[in-house]
Amino acid sequence: MRRLNIPELHERRWFPQSLRDLFTDSLQFILNAIRVYGPISERLSLAVNAARADRVVDLCSGGGGPWPWLHSVLRARGTQDLQIVLTDKYPNLTAFENARRSSGGAISYSVESVEAVHIPPELCGFRTLFSSLHHFRPAEVLAMLQDAADQRQGFGAFESAGRRGRVIASVILVPVGAIVAAPFVRPFRPSRLFWSWILPVIPMVLFVDGILSCLRAYSPDEVVALCRCVAAPGYVWDAGYVSGPLGRVTYLLGYPSPVRSSSAQQGA
């Protein structure tokens, strides 16, 4: 199955910001409830430590990503002073502020729009993307990887979506989860109940965009091929799968290394 590049509903310019926030809140609640990205914590911790990074700049953070719980997991693995900065092209500031409060200040955020392909120079740190790499065309992904290597910053991208029948079939569980979880997502908003139960736009968008996410997802072989096009002496790449609660999670990690290496290697 070849990768498609069809824009998702929630990333279109005409999609209302208020609905986009409800969408990202609901999606993030579901992903965090089952800790989809828990299995990548060890690899990410090792990469952050190898890059000697004390700050993570999370791109396309949506509803806050996994960081409300993942930052404490990484700290327990030895990154005690790690700071997290949430960013997004359409920042969900309410969700970002909740993450900041719940983390005791370990998580901060940018109030400005930040595009993953145009990162301001002041946002230095290990760059991460969760459930977001598929939003970008190959040329854009290559530009992100090259910029991370040029700036000597670590890079990590993680995807639970994939172009596999089992994963695509499991997407039906996401809108069901959104309907059930609607009263429990924080911050509580009556509008979430309306758009989830009365007029179920949120579940519908989650279903459509979930299918599109799977069809747009990159395989490890595809990201390895992109890494081979990056001019990055002294930079290490690693890509592969790890097993997660909904199947395999695709990961791509890169970081500066004292050892000159511009080749991408397939992870287990």
Indicate if the pLDDT at residue 110 is higher than 50.
yes
State in Å, rounded, how far the first CA of the chain is from the last one.
Answer: 22
Q: Among 3.30.310.50, 3.40.50.150, 3.40.50.300, 2.60.40.10, what is the CATH number of 9-266?
A: 3.40.50.150
Q: DSSP labels for 97-124?
A: HHHHHHTTTSEEE-SS--BTTB--TT--
Give pLDDT tens digits for 129-143.
999 999 999 999 999
How distant is the alpha carbon of residue 86 from its chain centre? 11
Q: What is the average pLDDT across 13-18?
A: 96
What CA–CA distance (Å, rounded) separates 117 from 261? 24
Q: What is the average pLDDT across 212-240?
A: 95
Consecutive H or E run containing 62? none
pLDDT of residue 32: 94
Give pLDDT tens digits for 54-93.
999 999 999 999 999 999 999 888 877 899 999 999 999 9
**% of the chain beyond a pLDDT of 90:** 88
Give pLDDT tens digits for 23-65.
999 999 999 999 999 999 999 999 999 999 999 999 999 999 9
Q: What is the average pLDDT across 226-230?
A: 96
Q: Using an 8 Å Cβ cutoff, are 159 and 248 in contact? A: no
Q: Using an 8 Å Cβ cutoff, are 222 and 3 in contact? A: yes
Indicate if the pLDDT at residue 220 is higher than 80.
yes
Band (pLDDT 50/70/90 cuts) for residue 264 is very low
